[in-house]
Amino acid sequence: MTLLTEKRTLLTVITEAAIEKNLLRDLKQLGVAGYTVLDARGKGRRGVRDAAWGEAANIQIEVICSRALAETVLLDFQARYYDNYAMVSFLQDVEIIRPDKF
């Protein structure tokens, strides 16, 4: 027996905990139906304004949606936050069941 799955896109955004509320508001406005937030910590290059290294309270936000919506969110976040906040985003293909949930 082979499971019937459908493809969706997993968007993962790792960024500063300080802007969590802003990001969740943006997700809702962009039409995202659900999200998961995990507390994290990390280190990496900052945006343009601050080239120094910082270790900080981070969050990891995960969204599963269509490829098109994931790209919309990514472009929106890039325009709003990439220059001023430490933010790393990436896309992955995932397989889901129960596509009515996404």
Residues that bind a copy of itself (CB under 8 A): 1-3, 5, 8, 10, 12, 14, 24, 33-45, 58, 60, 62, 64, 71, 74-75, 78, 82, 88-98, 101
- Tell me the closest approach of the beta carbon of residue 17 to a copy of itself, in angstroms: 12
Q: Are 9 and 66 in contact (CB under 8 A)?
A: yes
Within 13 Å and on the Cβ side, how many CA atoms surround 71? 4
- Tell me the closest approach of the beta carbon of residue 6 to a copy of itself, in angstroms: 10
Residue 85 carries which DSSP code?
Answer: S
Residue 1 carries which DSSP code?
Answer: -
- Tell me the closest approach of the beta carbon of residue 88 to a copy of itself, in angstroms: 6
* Complex with a copy of itself: residue 3 or 49, whichever CB lies closer: 3
Cα–Cα distance, 102 to 97 (Å, whole number) = 10
